[in-house]
Amino acid sequence: MIEIEDRVFTALADATRRQLLTRLAQSSPQTATQLAHEFPISRQGIIKHLDRLSYAGLVRVQTRGREKRYVFDPTSLQAASAWIETIGKQWDERLQRLKNLVEDDSF
Amino acid sequence: MEAVVLERSIVIAADRERVWRAITTPEHLAKWFEPIRFERLAVGETLTFGWGGEGSIALVEPMDRFGFRWQIAPPHPAQTLVVFTLETVPEGTRITVTEQGFEALPDEVREIRFQDNTQGWEHMLDSLSAYMTSREP
């Protein structure tokens, strides 16, 4: 589990991979060839990114004949997303308290 | 290697000197953040947090940037880097906080219970992207 979350953050640190994942979240399954039509990178480049997403557990691979189809898998994303949102909310609350403190006349 | 960076910011109706004081003085930090003890405002200085965690000052650029490392989930030693950046805007001072180093997630994190996701995955990806930016460390 811990290793999976580690991989999720590494996989999501790249903007192209986030876009690929968003595309797959909208419509799955898709092949690398189909995705290559929609992104300004080669099919080989797409496959490299999909491998990273697969390693992170964010997409699953279905093999049908010679063709690999990629399916969005939200399970590991849910844990990572909820965690990062929690940390973001904590910072929002702290910054709001900082603002209240500094803007107070008695500061 | 790119790093996942969490970024949040707020605009404060005060000048940079006031905001700088509030983020670098233990007395003020205790009021809006949490009790943090340190002897000197200098890079490498040890920080002791009220909850017992430890860290160290990583960056001191007066009136511009202040950064420190702290334990992400004590007692695990893994640390993230937090950086506050101040900039002057017409309304006063914008303070932006970034936190990074989540790739070194400790075991303890998995014990956090996550709430059920009732929103669509697409929305979740959008909000996740909004919280994060990609950049060279």
Query: pLDDT for A60-91, tens place per residue?
Result: 999 888 889 999 887 777 767 777 777 888 89
Interface residue of B6, B8, B111, B116 to substitute, partner A, most A CBs within 10 Å: B8
pLDDT for B9-38, tens place per residue?
Answer: 999 999 999 999 999 999 999 999 989 999
* N- to C-terminal Cα separation, chain A: 46
Per-residue model confidence (pLDDT) at position A5: 64
Q: How far apart are CA A12 and CA A77, in angstroms?
A: 9
Set of chain B residues whose Cβ sits within 8 Å of the Cβ of A101: 22, 28, 31-32
Residue-range domains of chain B with CATH? 5-134 (3.30.530.20)
Set of chain A residues whose Cβ sits within 8 Å of the Cβ of B103: 6, 9-10, 13
Nearest to A91 among B8, B23, B125 (CB): B8
Chain B (101-130) residues lying within 8 Å, Cβ to Cβ, of chain A: 102-107, 109-110, 112, 114-115, 117, 121-122, 124-129
Query: What is the value of pTM for the model shown?
Result: 0.65
Q: With a cut of 60, say whether residue B125 has pLDDT above it.
A: no
Which band of pLDDT confidence, cut at 50, 70 and 90, is reported for residue B130?
A: low
Provide the 8-state DSSP code for B94.
E
Per-residue model confidence (pLDDT) at position B117: 30
Q: With a cut of 80, say whether residue A55 has pLDDT above it.
A: yes
Please report the DSSP string for B28-81 in residue order: HHHHHT--EE-SSSSTT-EEEETTS-EEEEEEEETTTEEEEEEESSTTS--EEE
**Tokens standing for B125?**
């990806």
Nearest to B105 among A6, A82, A94 (CB): A6
pLDDT for B33-91, tens place per residue?
Answer: 989 999 999 999 999 988 778 999 999 999 999 999 998 766 667 788 999 999 999 99
Q: How far apart are CA A17 and CA A14, in angstroms?
A: 5
* N- to C-terminal Cα separation, chain B: 8
How large is the average pLDDT for residues A39-67?
A: 91
8 A C-beta contact, residue B96 and residue B7? yes
Phi, psi at B122, each rounded to 5°: -60, -45
Strands in A1-107 per DSSP E:
30-31, 59-64, 67-72
